[in-house]
Structure 1
């Protein structure tokens, strides 16, 4: 049946998309629906219709709800990695890297608000869905660990207080930023003030 479904899609499109292209299209369609209708409104038939495939082909690529959420999460990680590569950290001090993290977050809020909506939906669902939590919690933990590494570097290079706890500072930073993105109408001025207060709390006083 799956081979027949794939053959039908080939005849409809006139060419066979690569597996990566098809999975990317599925992820983008799922993300668009989450933005429009929330995670509760995500339906496989709607995804298939947007991608231009049938349900059997969709299930070939994402056989379960968990596989679909994992695919969406991976597409988010890809976007965040691409953003990070646009702003290299190599050779920068801990303080400079912290400011880049704040700048990246601000850029996401301004230029990629859909990512914030999707993340909020998935994180909220993870609170009551163990399968989704298993997918999303590593993303959260990785984000915190990135901040912790920045604080360790800053302690070493003298940017930050020598008595700073890197793990606690990472939790404080990601917690504050996460709370910002949950605001219904986030003021960029408020976001900038939050970032400034965080920086003041961590830097080494001269």
Structure 2
């Protein structure tokens, strides 16, 4: 091997380049909002030219889809650190709250970027087509937890799981904001009290 080969920089794979683009885009969305997202700024942060950027994300929709994919992957990776198999509904809800608490403390940009995209989706159908299914999936996860809790008796059997899930995700969206984060534990406690089955708790 020639000396210059030994010191040549490692060529990034396509996946690595796309991950870098997604990370740069997320940072700009947090700093400037979606309106301030410019391909030139992304290319500069990643260290590539515009043509290379457009090779990986040729359209606005492709860029938003890449950002959404990166958010989904990070949420999934975080959830895998906390298995829920075998837990009843109430304990799974607490686990979901613990995961959200970790995200707010360690990766607040995840919720921030998602919130920005959800807000833009109200005005842009192309973004709505990408983001709203992701939002619906998160809401359905909570609905599933509430249905489980009704079945195992840890939640009241009079609650509407779909409505409870909407209430819960709306509260969590609000609590990621810096001026709300000191209320996080109180919000979690109120949500648990609102849906828990008192008789089940007394049996435990």
Could you tell me the TM-score, scaled by structure 1's length? 0.88
Find the residue that maps to 1:185 and give its secondary structure.
coil
Correspondence list, 1:84-163, <5 A:
84-163=79-158
1:65 to 56, 60, 66: 60
**Residue in 2 that maps onto 1:200:** 193
CA distance in 1, matches of 2:88, 2:151: 9
- Deviation, structure 1 residue 158: 1.1
Residue 165 (structure 1) aligned with residue 160 (structure 2)? yes
Of 17-26 and 171-180, more deviation after overlay is shown by: 171-180
Superposed CA RMSD: 1.4
- Distance in 1 (CA, whole Å) between partners of 2:26 and 2:172 is 22
Q: Pick from 175, 181, 189: which aligns with 1:187?
A: 181
Deviates more, 1:112-121 or 1:54-63: 112-121
Q: How many residues align?
A: 192
The alpha-carbon deviation at position 111 of structure 1 amounts to 1.4
Q: Per the alignment, in what secondary structure is the counterpart of residue 138 of structure 1?
A: helix
Q: Find the counterpart in structure 1 of residue 38 from structure 2.
A: 43
Alignment of 1:28 onto 2:23: yes
Contact 2:174–2:180 (CA under 8 A) maintained in structure 1: no
Separation in structure 1 between the aligned mates of residue 92 and residue 156 of structure 2, nearest angstrom:
15
Shift in Å at residue 118 of structure 1?
1.3
Q: Which runs of 5+ in 1 are unaligned?
A: 1-12
CA contact (8 A) 2:43 2:50 kept: yes
Give ranges in structure 2 of 5+ residues lacking alignment. Answer: 1-7, 200-204
Whether the 8 Å CA contact 2:111–2:173 is kept in 1: the answer is: no
Regions of 4+ moved over 4 Å: none
Return the TM-score normalized by structure 2. Answer: 0.89
Give SS of 1:59's match. Answer: helix
Determine helix, strand or coil for the equivalent of 1:63.
Answer: coil
